[in-house]
């Protein structure tokens, strides 16, 4: 069976800086993979290369066995590749419901229709409401996104991606910026994703990573440092040195900064 | 999978009735959003009232209607798709000259088919320039659209043997409307003609705006990165709407030529592009009727101020703009909406209040 997503020898440089170096990885159908690494390791760049925001200098990206290296973002999205952004990218002036309908409309090609009214297809609205229901957002359906608290906006961010009915889902720090009292809402959603979807999650919280992921890829300075099961990664001394050590160091600094 | 989701939704039984009510409210809002509201009759009734109340000012009235149509075309791209352009006069001018040259050089004097021709020619120009320019956004696009309009104007200047240059093509004669209604000194025929054209075009624009395509345009305006990420062919969408808006601006230009019976190269002026944008912003962008209010307020005041003081009339317009920017950020229409929400019963507001009551612990 072909992997849902395959990345082969991917390279990308900005000038003399190699931000992605010879990355090879693959996600099987239903994969639960975490991408970790210190700040500036190139995690978001890798997501941008996979989704087509950036073009790689060399290497290939395959989606369900199809070479999409030169495809546009939109083509990849229609092929079943969805993502969330580290910083919310939402239609802030529209209601939550309209945000979801937008994704469904683009997925089904409805949004090319200039003649019938946007509300005429009840199936689209019902499906959007189902998505909102599963994330407990129905009560906010008519509120403008910009009026929602940030944590709820993060949920909308995920809801849009899910409304695309993706086969591969890339989550870029889904709980970033959310107070810890609310982050469990988002992490519950992540934990209960459709088992058929291949998920790649970028996350800094090690508890989340070890709970969620069945496979972990450690990225350091743009290259795959090592990969393996959570157990292997946890017991890997090198990873502790470059990443977990770094994390501890960061935590100390953060603590100091807040005081 | 969809079946699973619906059963999952049905199983959340404790808050069932409340949840279903919330769903229905939300769905009802989207389903009914495009329906006509009684307030929408007001601008049209006002246009009809003007016909009877000011029978000797209808020539001016038809000029206002032409500008409403022009502003409406800009609203489609600026207000909905968020395309900022300072060269929209290019398409107005192309429409104006399509009809003008048709009548002066080729004897094409039938007015209604002239409008169609203007629509087609301006659309083609919109498609070609849009295809190249809409890769850019913001200031770059602003400069490029401005340059496009200037290039059109200079092309006309270069061939002043055809275009008549800045002296224009005077004394154009058009056939009676539909072969029956001749043009009178007071502009009655022209006014009705312009109003009917405006109403027809408005109907189409309104449908587009409330369609899924119109929603996608709003999405592009609100967040283009997200539109790419959910698979929207953004460039294609923008080119499509730009082409349509160019065509409508072409119709406005053609109406301008027909109702004035002359056309000069000043239709391509930067001032024309800027003026229509000012009108739209003054009236309120992205709400269709902003074009009505903005064009009407601007032109009536311009007319009034220029009679009051032929040299300093622009001061009045400038003051008005400053006031609008300071106190009516969403345009004159925004003021009306605020007043409506304050005094009247705003349905959405009530719904939100109800909802909050329901969810309080």
What CA–CA distances, in Å, run from B108 to B113, B193, B254? 9, 18, 13
A33 close to A199: Cβ distance less than 8 angstroms: yes
**Is domain A5-89+166-258 classified as CATH 3.40.50.300?**
yes
| CB-closest option in A90, A97, A133 to B30 | A97
Distance CA B273, CA B267 (A): 9
Longest dimension (CA), chain B: 80
Cβ distance A129 to A138 under 8 Å?
yes
Using an 8 Å Cβ cutoff, are B88 and B297 in contact?
A: no
Q: Give the strand order in the sheet containing A223-228.
A: A81-84, A168-172, A198-202, A32-36, A215-220, A223-228
Which residues of B fall within a CB distance of 8 Å from A30? none
| 3-class state of residue A252 by DSSP | helix
Q: Is the pLDDT of residue B276 over 70?
A: yes
Query: Which one has a higher pLDDT value, B56 or A182?
Result: B56
β-bridge partners, A168: A81, A198
CA distance B33 to chain A (A): 7
For A118-168, the pLDDT digits (tens) are: 888 888 888 999 889 888 888 888 899 999 988 889 999 999 999 999 999
The answer to whether ipTM exceeds 0.90 is no
Whose CA is closest to A83, among A54, A58, A109? A54
Task: Compute how many other C-beta atoms are within 10 angstroms of the C-beta atom of residue B338.
Answer: 12
Q: How confident is the model at residue B355 (pLDDT cuts 50, 70, 90)?
A: very low
Paired with A7 in beta bridges are: A25, A61
Distance in angstroms (rounded) separating the CA atoms of residues A21 and A6: 16
The answer to whether A160 faces chain B, any CB pair under 8 Å, is yes
Distance to chain B for A49, nearest Cα, Å: 13
* β-sheet bridge partners, residue A23: A10
B29 vs B35: CA distance, rounded Å: 10
Spans of all domains in chain A: 5-89+166-258
Residues A150 and B38: their CA atoms lie apart, in Å, by 37
Mean pLDDT, range B62-66, rounded to an integer: 94
Measured between beta carbons, which residues in chain B are less than 8 angstroms from residue A113? 211-213
Beta bridge partners of residue B177, listed in sequence order: B181
Burial (CB count within 10 angstroms: exposed 0-12, middle 13-18, buried 19+), residue B308: exposed
> pLDDT (tens digit, 9 = 90+) per residue, A166-217?
999 999 988 888 888 878 888 888 888 889 999 999 988 888 888 888 999 9
Q: Which pLDDT score is estimated for A250? A: 55
pLDDT at residue B100 in the model: 92
Q: How far is A73 from chain B (nearest CA, A)?
A: 6
Q: Are B95 and B258 in contact (CB under 8 A)?
A: no
Alpha carbons B147 and B142: distance in angstroms, whole number:
9
pLDDT tens, B135-146? Answer: 998 899 999 999
Tokens of A39: 């700040």
Q: Which residues of A touch B208 (CB under 8 A)?
A: 114
Considering only residues A58 and B349, tell me which one the structure prediction assigns the higher pLDDT: A58
Nearest to A226, CA basis, from A235, A216, A241: A216
pLDDT tier at A73, thresholds 50, 70, 90: very high
Pairing of strands A5-14, A17-27: antiparallel
Domains and CATH numbers, chain B: 54-313 (1.10.3470)
> Can you read off the two tokens belonging to residue B31?
């389903």
State the Cα–Cα distance between residues A144 and B29, nearest whole angstrom: 13
Residue pLDDT, tens place only, B127-173: 999 999 999 988 999 999 999 999 999 998 888 888 877 888 877 77
Find which of A52, A74, A80, A83 to mutate to test the B interface (most B CBs within 10 Å of its CB).
Answer: A74
Best residue in B5, B19, B222, B229 for a mutation probing chain A (most A CBs within 10 Å): B229
Residue from A112, A131, A159, A163 to probe the interface with B (highest B Cβ count within 10 Å): A112
Structure confidence by residue, pLDDT tens digits, B289-345 = 999 999 999 999 888 888 888 888 888 888 888 888 888 878 888 888 888 877 765
H/E stretch holding A171 reads strand A168-172
How distant is the Cα of B276 from the closest Cα of chain A, in angstroms? 25
Per-chain mean pLDDT for chain B: 85
CA–CA dist B222, A169 (Å, integer): 23
Q: Are strands A215-220 and A223-228 parallel, antiparallel or unpaired?
A: antiparallel
């Amino acid at each position: 069976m072909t992997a849902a997503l395959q990345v082969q020898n991917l390279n990308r440089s900005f000038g003399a800086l190699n931000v992605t170096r010879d990355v090879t990885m693959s996600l099987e159908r239903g994969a639960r993979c975490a991408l970790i690494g210190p700040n500036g390791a190139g995690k978001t760049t890798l997501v941008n290369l996979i989704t087509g925001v950036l073009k790689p200098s060399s290497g290939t990206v395959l989606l369900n066995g199809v070479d999409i290296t030169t495809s546009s973002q939109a083509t990849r999205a229609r092929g079943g590749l969805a993502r969330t952004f580290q910083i919310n990218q939402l239609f802030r002036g529209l209601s939550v419901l309209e945000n979801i309908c937008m994704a469904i409309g683009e997925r089904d090609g409805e949004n090319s229709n200039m003649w019938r009214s946007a509300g005429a297809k009840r199936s689209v609205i019902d499906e959007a409401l189902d998505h909102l229901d599963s994330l407990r957002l129905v009560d906010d359906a008519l509120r403008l996104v910009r009026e929602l608290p940030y944590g709820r906006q993060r949920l909308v961010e995920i809801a849009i991606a899910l409304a695309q009915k993706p086969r591969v889902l890339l989550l870029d720090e889904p709980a970033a910026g959310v107070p810890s009292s609310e982050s469990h809402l988002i992490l519950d959603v992540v934990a209960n994703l459709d088992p058929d979807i291949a998920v790649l999650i970028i996350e800094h919280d090690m508890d989340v990573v070890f709970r969620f992921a069945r496979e972990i890829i450690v990225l350091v300075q743009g290259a795959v440092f090592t990969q393996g099961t959570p157990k292997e990664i946890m017991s890997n001394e090198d990873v502790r040195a470059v990443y977990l050590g770094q994390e501890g160091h960061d935590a100390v600094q953060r603590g100091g900064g807040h005081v | 999978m969809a079946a699973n989701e619906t059963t999952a939704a049905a199983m959340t039984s404790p808050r069932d009735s409340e949840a279903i009510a919330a769903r229905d409210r939300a769905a009802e809002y989207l389903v009914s959003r495009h329906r006509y509201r009684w307030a929408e009759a007001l601008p049209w009734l006002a246009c009809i009232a003007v016909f009877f109340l000011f029978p000797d000012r209808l020539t001016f009235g038809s000029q206002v209607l032409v500008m409403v149509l022009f502003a409406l075309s800009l609203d489609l791209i600026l207000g909905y798709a968020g395309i900022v352009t300072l060269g929209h006069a290019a398409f107005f001018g192309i429409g104006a000259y399509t009809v003008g040259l048709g009548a002066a050089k080729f004897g094409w004097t039938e007015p209604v088919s002239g409008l169609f021709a203007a629509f087609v020619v301006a659309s083609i120009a919109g498609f070609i320039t849009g295809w190249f320019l809409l890769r850019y956004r913001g200031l770059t696009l602003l400069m490029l659209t401005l340059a496009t309009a200037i290039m059109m104007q200079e092309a006309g200047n270069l061939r002043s043997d055809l275009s008549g240059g800045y002296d224009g093509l005077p004394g154009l004669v058009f056939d009676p409307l539909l072969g029956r209604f001749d043009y009178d000194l007071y502009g009655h025929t022209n006014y009705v003609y312009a109003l009917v054209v405006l109403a027809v075009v408005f109907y189409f624009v309104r449908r587009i705006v409330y369609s899924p395509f119109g929603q996608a345009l709003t999405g592009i305006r609100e967040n283009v990165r997200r539109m790419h990420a959910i698979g929207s062919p953004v460039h294609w969408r923008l080119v499509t709407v730009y082409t349509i808006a160019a065509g409508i601006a072409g119709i406005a230009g053609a109406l301008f030529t027909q109702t004035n019976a002359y056309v000069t190269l000043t239709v391509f002026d930067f001032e024309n592009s800027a003026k229509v944008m000012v009108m739209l912003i003054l009236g309120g962008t992205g709400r269709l009727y902003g074009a009505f209010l903005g064009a009407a307020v601007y032109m009536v005041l311009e007319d009034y101020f220029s009679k009051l003081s032929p040299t300093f009339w622009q001061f009045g317009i400038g003051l008005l703009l400053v006031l609008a920017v300071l106190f009516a950020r969403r345009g004159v229409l925004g003021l009306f909406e605020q007043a409506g929400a304050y005094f009247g019963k705003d349905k959405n507001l009530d719904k939100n209040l109800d909802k909050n009551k329901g969810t309080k612990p």
